[in-house]
Amino acid sequence: MAKKAVSISSALAKTQDGGVQITLTIPFELVSVEREKALTEYAKNIEVPGFRKGKAPLEKVRERVPAGSLIEHTLSHILPKALAEIINKEKIRPAIYPKFELIKAEEGEAWQVRAVTCEVPQVNLGDYKQSLLLRSKKASIWIPGKDEKPKERSKEEKEQEIIHVLLESVKVEIPKLLIDEEVNARLSNLLEKIERLGLTLDGYLASVGKTTDSLRAEYEINAKNTIALDLILTTIAREEKIDIKETEVDAAIAAASAEPKVAERLNTPEQRRLIRGVLARRTALDSLSALL
């Protein structure tokens, strides 16, 4: 009689702001099979006294592998495929790669892992062009003798006005997880800069008159606005069918990299995709200047 297929069960929970939690329950039978595969991989590089390299029994190899490393390696055999199946089945559009939390990993019992991510936020553009036109008309109203004639705005001032109107009028809810991810990245960059200058975080905060809490709060606002603006401009670029040509990407890479090695790093499929997105958002923003 054929063996019954061992399957992973899952429980899905979503938060109102787009957060997603997937709890996976992995039968121990599957854990055992994948753990043996992981140990076989470890055995190729681990030296065990009395045995040739790669020839030691798996029980001996296991004695030399830290328990945490073995669990992590075993799960790396299981989670990517299991998660991909659930994401496809539930039609989830993850904005970031999930973070995993081990809930349970007892010998002889099913293991449990929680995957935490968030979905790409939905953008409701509404009548953003009308909002821009109304703002433009309001700014251009001038009553001779009463008001000072408004000055011609610079390109930068127009851009800031467009950004302000878009963030104010377009509806998009940013998941907290996405904001935290961006804030943590910015704080890490700041800490690196501070260390390179030979300063301490406390010294830096004192020099700018901020606390860790006020700095994080400021970064949260900035991160939320940055993410929202990127999503809004990406949606506008898609709706307006803005097409960035390969030659434009080539030109951007050439402009950004005087060194051949830098150009090589930028000229990968993933980097070209990111650059194309930046150029599309910039084109979308430039196209809105005509409305002001």
Residue pLDDT, tens place only, 236-253: 999 999 999 999 999 999
Cβ atoms of 97 and 20 closer than 8 Å: no
Give yes or no: residues 176 and 39 share one domain.
Answer: no
Distance CA 278, CA 244 (A): 10
Alpha helices in the chain (DSSP H): 28-43, 58-63, 67-90, 128-140, 155-169, 176-196, 201-208, 212-239, 246-256, 260-266, 269-288
Give yes or no: residues 91 and 172 share one domain.
Answer: no
Quote the pLDDT of residue 45. 83
Is the pLDDT reported for residue 214 higher than 90? yes
Q: At what angle do helices 155-169 and 128-140 cross, to 10 degrees?
A: 130
The encoded tokens of residue 93 equal 């559009």
Confidence of residue 291 (pLDDT cuts 50, 70, 90): confident
283 is a domain residue: yes
Final residue before a domain boundary, out of 118, 143, 159? 118
Give yes or no: residues 61 and 90 share one domain.
Answer: yes
DSSP-assigned beta bridge partners for residue 119: 94
Residue length of the chain: 292
3 is a domain residue: no
What's the average model confidence in pLDDT over 17-26? 96
4 is a domain residue: no
Report which of 281, 272, 276 is spatially closest to residue 239, judged by C-alpha positions: 281
- DSSP output for 57-76: -HHHHHHTS-HHHHHHHHHH
CATH of the domain at 236: 1.10.3120.10
155: enclosing H helix or E strand? helix 155-169
26 is a domain residue: yes
What's the average model confidence in pLDDT over 115-125? 95
1 is a domain residue: no
Cβ atoms of 25 and 6 closer than 8 Å: no
Distance CA 167, CA 190 (A): 26
92 is a domain residue: yes
2 is a domain residue: no
Distance CA 186, CA 212 (A): 13
CATH of the domain at 29: 3.30.70.1050
What is the count of structural domains for the chain? 2
Give yes or no: residues 63 and 169 share one domain.
Answer: no
What's the average model confidence in pLDDT over 148-158? 77
Give yes or no: residues 202 and 278 share one domain.
Answer: yes
Give yes or no: residues 208 and 65 share one domain.
Answer: no
Give yes or no: residues 153 and 56 share one domain.
Answer: no
* Residue 178 structural domain: 123-291
Give yes or no: residues 211 and 113 share one domain.
Answer: no
Give yes or no: residues 165 and 281 share one domain.
Answer: yes
Give yes or no: residues 59 and 135 share one domain.
Answer: no
Final residue before a domain boundary, out of 66, 101, 118? 118
Give yes or no: residues 146 and 85 share one domain.
Answer: no
Residue located via tokens 């991160």:
223
Give yes or no: residues 25 and 133 share one domain.
Answer: no
Is the pLDDT reported for residue 167 higher than 70? yes
Quote the pLDDT of residue 6. 76
**pLDDT digit string, tens, across residues 75-84:** 999 999 999 9
Final residue before a domain boundary, out of 89, 118, 147? 118
Quote the pLDDT of residue 152. 74
Confidence of residue 1 (pLDDT cuts 50, 70, 90): very low
Range scoring the smallest mean pLDDT among 12-21, 128-137, 162-171, 196-205: 128-137
